[in-house]
């Protein structure tokens, strides 16, 4: 839908066509129409001209005016005037804020080395492609999230790189501007939805509505999820996998497909490497045994394997659940193998390799300019000496090693932090008590956000107000298209876009990384590979490069232009030479979760329920708790408990219950539902209460309900990617009167 106008007058409103991309969340890039009057946002609607979302819009963007104009919104730079955590702030000028930040980071750099400053990121924001570059200008390579094992997206990305050469996605026509009508596209006969609930979470550049549209056109579903999601309830086969055993499930599927010879022999012969070795490994994991491990009936698991392999085409869409197991990288390895050996790779309606649109890269995790850092700086990237896969895969640090280093100060202390677009303490931080202690040791912390969060309250010395997306210009390169975010309103107070902040601050440290004068210059630089400027993109509107299938036959997947996949052998590496070279297992395997019914039977007696967390609801992670029309839909943190289990424990719907394990205890409100297995519970995450007192010890009441307190850091797989997060043990019991 190129060359549609991007601004017009309508019925007393100015309407600006734009692309939604943080803040506030999420990872996507939906087309929106921003209705404004006198420089103020009045309402938001979905843009029916944008092929990405075709007019559909989530509650969070619909409620955007409330997010922008909420009385708690940060409007000016502020500095801390009391003790950390007291909540005493004073308004300052941008100049004073920048001067202080520059002075304090330079002091830390001189004393301990610039790598003693770490930059904390959140997830999928319109700042992560630049945030690393600010850090590199400061002189530190340490850009990091606080989620153990970088267990969100990164394990998938790393594993796909080691097997297929690049990230892959289910093909739901999203590469085409004319979407489902495109003559080259085919409706998937079968879609496997694995460890993701996209109709609620819309994760990783993928909208749940695309699955729904495929269903309307006849796609059948296999849903692999430990919860009965809406998609699971509509699936032909729902595999209720025991949390933490996705790897065994994947091996079981492969066993059936290989043993029953349901694979595409020609593709295997021509385009895969190591099929025999994979087959030997898989034979050690017979479906019968895998079914027992996963708590799924064998015939059901086998039926799913047959349905997936026999449907043409079949697509698999994978989510975060597979990342949150310590052998998750190898689960993804199996998934890449499944898509390849069944001949579903790079075919219409199968799985396709995801490359940046027109070569425009907005990396989700740091990276822009990382390799311009001197070797002497890069070698300080935390954890890269321990995890070579991390060092070769993603220019981000290991959170598990960082946390240890914060406490041991070995090989160097961590003394400064830059927290941008992440409310890490109640949300991304696994085991937040340890992170809390670590960050309390900082000499200086600066933060950028829309609101004062528990993280800011606890740690920050200087806070900068960030712009929301209608307050800025930007670019979204959302895998399948390029489109512009167009500034539509007057900024609230003195807020600035993350890009403007990073540019203005970056220039003070190292102009080599930030040679540009204005934000638009940076956007033009970003767009260079596409051969257009920001203004040209703005005029063109959402721009789609389209996709050719079977690009491996046409020399379109490798930088050298040769045919094949972008791997050392040019084939899909079922035996990964890359992992082998790094000293890791080149073939998939599965390990039981660190704590569970099999691994720790004694502990399981004491804590007889498996705990999962992280299920998305009406909010985006820890955001939106102060937005009235969203909060009223989900007013309190709830834990899902099977009615049979609740009955045994004397818990009623709506009771507050303690959730306790070997680490800690928290409380949430019981919701009795057969969505979960009787032997597991699913606890809300990311909660804080903007209406409660901010100053310590309250920190907006987040500690009491924070399910990450029950999860260990450091239960990481051999590659450093993936950790046991969605699979720990716990027990529950009713909160007694007087305990709240």
Report the run of H or E that residue 669 belongs to, with start and end. Answer: strand 665-672
- Using the minimum distance from each CB to another protein, give the nearer residue, 45 or 536: 45
Nearest approach, Cβ of 586 to another protein (angstroms)? 38
Look at strands 143-144 and 117-120 and give their pairing: parallel
Nearest approach, Cβ of 484 to another protein (angstroms)? 21
- Using the minimum distance from each CB to another protein, give the nearer residue, 238 or 702: 238
Residue 11 engages another protein in binding (rule: CB under 8 A): yes
Asked if residue 448 lies in contact with residue 421, where contact means CB atoms within 8 angstroms, the answer is yes
Q: Footprint of another protein on residues 34-53 (CB under 8 A)? A: 43-46, 48
Residue 65 engages another protein in binding (rule: CB under 8 A): yes
Structure tokens at 140: 């530190």
- Using the minimum distance from each CB to another protein, give the nearer residue, 55 or 695: 55
- Using the minimum distance from each CB to another protein, give the nearer residue, 46 or 141: 46
Instruction: Give the C-alpha separation, 334 to 280, whole Å.
Output: 13
Residue 630 engages another protein in binding (rule: CB under 8 A): yes
Asked if residue 116 lies in contact with residue 416, where contact means CB atoms within 8 angstroms, the answer is yes
Instruction: Give the C-alpha separation, 28 to 469, whole Å.
Output: 13
The beta strand positions in 588-648, using DSSP E, are 609-613, 638-641
Structure tokens at 75: 């409007």
Residue 112 engages another protein in binding (rule: CB under 8 A): no
Judged by DSSP in three states, 666 sits in strand
| Residue from 16, 18, 36, 54 in contact with another protein (CB under 8 A) | 54
Report the run of H or E that residue 301 belongs to, with start and end. Answer: helix 298-310
Rounded to the nearest 10 degrees, the angle between the axes of helix 246-259 and helix 298-310 is 60
- Using the minimum distance from each CB to another protein, give the nearer residue, 48 or 528: 48
Stretch that binds another protein, among 58-66, 248-256, 381-389, 586-594 (CB under 8 A): 58-66
Report the run of H or E that residue 45 belongs to, with start and end. Answer: strand 40-46
Residue 55 engages another protein in binding (rule: CB under 8 A): yes
What track of x and - describes contact with another protein for positions 227 through 256 (by CB under 8 A)? -x-x-xxx--xx------------------
Instruction: Give the C-alpha separation, 350 to 342, whole Å.
Output: 10
Asked if residue 167 lies in contact with residue 160, where contact means CB atoms within 8 angstroms, the answer is yes
Residue 298 engages another protein in binding (rule: CB under 8 A): no
| Residue from 79, 94, 199, 494 in contact with another protein (CB under 8 A) | 199
Count other C-beta atoms under 10 Å from residue 617's C-beta. Answer: 16
Residue 446 engages another protein in binding (rule: CB under 8 A): no
Residue 318 engages another protein in binding (rule: CB under 8 A): no
Judged by DSSP in three states, 659 sits in strand
Nearest approach, Cβ of 608 to another protein (angstroms)? 23
- Using the minimum distance from each CB to another protein, give the nearer residue, 333 or 642: 642
Q: Footprint of another protein on residues 635-694 (CB under 8 A)? A: 673-675
| Residue from 213, 449, 524, 712 in contact with another protein (CB under 8 A) | 213
Residue 209 engages another protein in binding (rule: CB under 8 A): yes
- Using the minimum distance from each CB to another protein, give the nearer residue, 213 or 519: 213
Instruction: Name 417's bridge partners.
Output: 118, 445
Instruction: Give the C-alpha separation, 677 to 644, whole Å.
Output: 10
Size of the site for another protein (CB under 8 A): 39
Residue 225 engages another protein in binding (rule: CB under 8 A): no
Nearest approach, Cβ of 712 to another protein (angstroms)? 32
Q: Is 517 exposed, middle or buried (0-12, 13-18, 19+ CB in 10 A)?
A: exposed
Residues contacting residue 484 through CB under 8 Å, at least 6 positions apart = 6, 18, 19, 473, 474, 475, 476, 534, 537, 538, 541
Nearest approach, Cβ of 634 to another protein (angstroms)? 9
Stretch that binds another protein, among 206-214, 242-250, 357-365, 656-664 (CB under 8 A): 206-214
For 361, phi then psi, to 5°, come to -105, 130
- Using the minimum distance from each CB to another protein, give the nearer residue, 81 or 233: 233
Structure tokens at 493: 């107070």
The beta strand positions in 466-569, using DSSP E, are 474-477, 482-485
Nearest approach, Cβ of 170 to another protein (angstroms)? 17
Instruction: Give the C-alpha separation, 191 to 323, whole Å.
Output: 20
What track of x and - describes contact with another protein for positions 154 through 193 (by CB under 8 A)? ----------------------------------------
Stretch that binds another protein, among 67-75, 110-118, 624-632, 717-725 (CB under 8 A): 624-632
203-220 b/e with 16+ CB inside 10 Å = b? bbbbbbbbbbbbbeeebb
| Residue from 100, 182, 215, 312 in contact with another protein (CB under 8 A) | 215
Footprint on this chain of another protein (rule: CB under 8 A): 11, 43-46, 48, 54-59, 62-63, 65, 199-200, 208-209, 212-213, 215-216, 228, 230, 232-234, 237-238, 618, 628-630, 632-633, 673-675
């Amino acid at each position: 839908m190129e060359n549609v106008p991007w601004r017009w007058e309508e019925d007393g409103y100015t309407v600006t066509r734009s692309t939604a991309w943080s803040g506030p969340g999420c990872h996507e890039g939906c087309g929106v129409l921003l209705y404004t009057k006198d420089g103020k946002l009045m309402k938001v609607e979905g843009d029916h001209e944008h092929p990405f979302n075709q007019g559909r819009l989530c509650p969070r963007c619909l409620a955007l005016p409330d997010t922008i104009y909420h009385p708690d919104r940060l409007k000016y730079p502020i500095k801390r005037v009391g003790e950390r955590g007291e909540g005493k702030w004073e308004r300052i000028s941008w100049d004073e804020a920048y001067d202080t930040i520059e002075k304090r980071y330079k002091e830390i750099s001189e004393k301990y080395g610039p790598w003693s400053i770490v930059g904390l990121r959140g997830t999928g924001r319109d700042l992560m492609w630049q945030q690393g570059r600010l850090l590199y200008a400061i002189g530190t390579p340490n850009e990091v999230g606080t989620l153990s094992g970088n267990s969100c997206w990164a394990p998938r990305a790393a594993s796909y790189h080691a097997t297929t050469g690049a990230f892959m996605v289910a093909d739901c026509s999203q590469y085409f501007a004319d979407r489902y009508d495109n003559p080259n596209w085919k409706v998937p006969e079968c879609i496997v939805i694995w460890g993701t609930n996209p109709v609620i979470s819309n994760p990783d550049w993928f909208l749940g509505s695309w699955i729904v549209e495929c269903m309307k056109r006849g796609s059948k579903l296999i849903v692999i999820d430990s919860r009965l999601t809406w998609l699971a309830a509509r699936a032909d086969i729902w595999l209720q996998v025991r949390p933490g055993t996705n790897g065994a499930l994947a091996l079981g599927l492969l066993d059936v497909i290989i043993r029953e010879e349901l694979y595409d022999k020609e593709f295997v012969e021509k385009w895969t490497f190591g099929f025999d070795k994979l087959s030997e490994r898989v034979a050690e994991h017979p479906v019968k045994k895998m079914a027992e491990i996963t708590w799924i009936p064998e015939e059901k698991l086998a039926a799913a394997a047959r349905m997936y392999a026999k449907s043409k085409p079949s697509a698999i869409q994978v989510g975060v659940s597979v990342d949150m197991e310590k052998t998750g990288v190898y689960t993804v390895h199996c998934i890449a193998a499944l898509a390849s050996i069944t001949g579903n790779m790079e075919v219409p309606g199968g799985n396709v390799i995801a490359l940046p649109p027109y070569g425009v890269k907005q990396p989700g995790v740091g990276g822009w300019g990382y390799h311009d850092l001197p070797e002497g700086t890069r070698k300080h990237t935390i954890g890269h000496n321990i995890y070579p896969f991390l060092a070769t895969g993603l220019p981000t640090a290991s959170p598990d090693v960082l946390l240890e280093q914060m406490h041991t100060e070995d090989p160097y202390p961590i003394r400064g932090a830059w927290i941008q677009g992440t409310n890490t303490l109640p949300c991304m931080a696994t085991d937040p008590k340890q992170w809390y202690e670590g960050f309390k040791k900082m000499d200086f912390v600066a933060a950028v956000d829309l609101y004062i969060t528990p993280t800011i309250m606890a740690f920050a010395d200087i806070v900068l107000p960030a712009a929301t997306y209608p307050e800025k210009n930007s670019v979204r390169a959302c895998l399948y298209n390029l489109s512009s975010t167009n500034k539509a309103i007057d900024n609230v107070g003195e807020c600035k876009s993350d890009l403007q902040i990073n540019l203005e601050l970056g220039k003070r440290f190292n102009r080599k990384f930030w040679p540009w004068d204005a934000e638009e210059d940076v956007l033009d630089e970003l767009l260079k590979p596409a051969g257009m400027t920001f203004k040209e993109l703005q005029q063109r509107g959402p721009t789609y490069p389209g996709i050719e299938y079977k690009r491996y036959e046409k020399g379109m997947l490798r930088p050298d232009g040769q045919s094949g996949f972008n791997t050392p052998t040019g084939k899909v590496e079922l035996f990964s030479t890359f992992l082998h070279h790094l000293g890791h297992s080149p073939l998939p395997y599965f390990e039981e979760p660190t704590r569970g019914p099999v691994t720790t039977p004694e502990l399981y007696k004491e804590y007889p329920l498996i705990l999962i967390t992280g299920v998305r609801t009406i909010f985006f992670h820890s955001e939106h708790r102060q937005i009235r029309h969203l909060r009223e839909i989900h007013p309190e943190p709830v834990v899902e408990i099977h009615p049979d289990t609740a009955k045994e424990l004397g818990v009623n719907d709506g009771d507050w219950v303690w959730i306790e394990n070997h680490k800690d205890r928290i409380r949430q409100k019981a919701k009795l539902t057969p969505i979960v297995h009787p032997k597991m519970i699913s606890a809300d995450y990311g909660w804080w209460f903007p209406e409660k007192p901010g100053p310590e010890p309250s920190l907006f009441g987040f500690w009491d309900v924070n399910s990450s307190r029950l999860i260990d850091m450091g239960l990481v797989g051999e590659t450093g990617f993936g950790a046991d997060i969605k699979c720990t043990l716990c027990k529950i019991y009713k909160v007694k009167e007087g305990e709240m």
